Amino acid sequence: MRIILIGYGIVGQGLTQILMRRRHEVIRDFGLNPKIVAIVDRRGAAVNAKGLDLEKVFLVRKAKGTVAAYPECGRLGASPTSVMELVEAEVMVEATSTNVKTGEPGLSNIKTAFKTGKHVVTTNKGPLALALPALTELANYNKVYLRFSGTVGGGTPVLELAKKCLEGDKMLRIRGILNGTTNYILTQMAEERVTFEQALESAQKLGYAETDPSMDVDGIDPACKVVIMANWIMNKKLTLKDVSIQGIRGLTPGMLEEAAKRGNTIKLIGSVDDKAAVKPTEISKHDPLCVSGVLNAVTFESEFAGAETIIGRGAGGMETASAVLRDLLDIKHNLSDKLLNL
């Protein structure tokens, strides 16, 4: 499997590290021989049709700030589009920065990959939140697979649990804590009785929150995940504009104290049933969803299996990269089944 990797930040580098570490087991146990034939960052690309030396790419990028400085294989100024058009590969892994206003550069990267006959694995929520129904159609039209396990729950197999393990059952409702940063802030506010601003500052000091925390605290990040789950698991053709979104900026320690008197707490819950929403919601402290710190938790309510809750870390470079590897294996299995006409 020849792979073009676009985006060589925390997730992209995590993926190359996992592939270096697990290469022999992946070949032996799954018959998958992944070969990274190009890596692209903002300043250019490194390309080698025979497969890049991943250790060397890492060292070059560390020393020179771009993969394009790779000796002989470096292409300074090469764009993701030009690389996808020129380099033969089966799969494009999209791990560029998220933009929920335009979806770019991920949206164009995914469309170009489809047009050039490549399957796509993305960890970038932006293009999916804005255009998942259209992208699914485009993938089908071009007869390629689109996978995105790392976009919800990081390494925790949230999408797979619902899609594969509950296959055949009818999903009635999904509710979850889909953002670790806001869950950390709410946990701090409830347990340490600090204000929203103090808890946010502590999250920023620990590296859980960005300098501009609005994607998290205004509920946009969990709303993207609601869109992805609604489309993938419940077959609802939603985009971000269909989600009613309320963040956690208005919450006070007093509100959390009042909830505590009733044996409850307040969590930022993303949900989808007839409607899709993200809003601060009072839930029982005994609800399996009531996890603390940066943990994520999602409850699936299906017609026959009832309620199932999955809990996990939700993000992290290596965790998310491990979801990319699962998606690559899923594509490999699907292609093998097709060859066998299963």
Ligand X SMILES: NC(=O)c1ccc[n+]([C@@H]2O[C@H](COP(=O)([O-])OP(=O)(O)OC[C@H]3O[C@@H](n4cnc5c(N)ncnc54)[C@H](OP(=O)(O)O)[C@@H]3O)[C@@H](O)[C@H]2O)c1
**In the complex, which residues of this chain contact ligand X (CB under 6 A)?**
6-12, 40-43, 80, 95-98, 105, 123-125, 150-151, 154, 315-317, 320
Least distance CB 288 / ligand X (angstroms): 23
Residues 6+ away with beta carbon under 8 Å from 303:
169, 170, 172
Least distance CB 260 / ligand X (angstroms): 31
Least distance CB 43 / ligand X (angstroms): 5
Sheet holding 296-302, edge to edge: 244-245, 276-284, 264-272, 171-177, 296-302, 306-312
Q: Positive or negative, the Cα torsion across 330, 332, 333, 337?
A: positive
Measured from the CB atom, is 5 or 190 closer to ligand X? 5
Q: Is position 279 annotated as part of the catalytic site?
A: no
Nearest to 185 by CA among 151, 163, 208: 208
Least distance CB 174 / ligand X (angstroms): 18
End-to-end CA distance of the chain: 21
Measured from the CB atom, is 288 or 316 closer to ligand X? 316
Q: How far apart are CA 181 and CA 294, in angstroms?
A: 6
Find the catalytic residue in 111, 118, 225, 332: 225
Cβ–Cβ under 8 Å, residues 84 and 4: yes
291 token code pair: 């996890």
Hey, which residues are catalytic here?
225
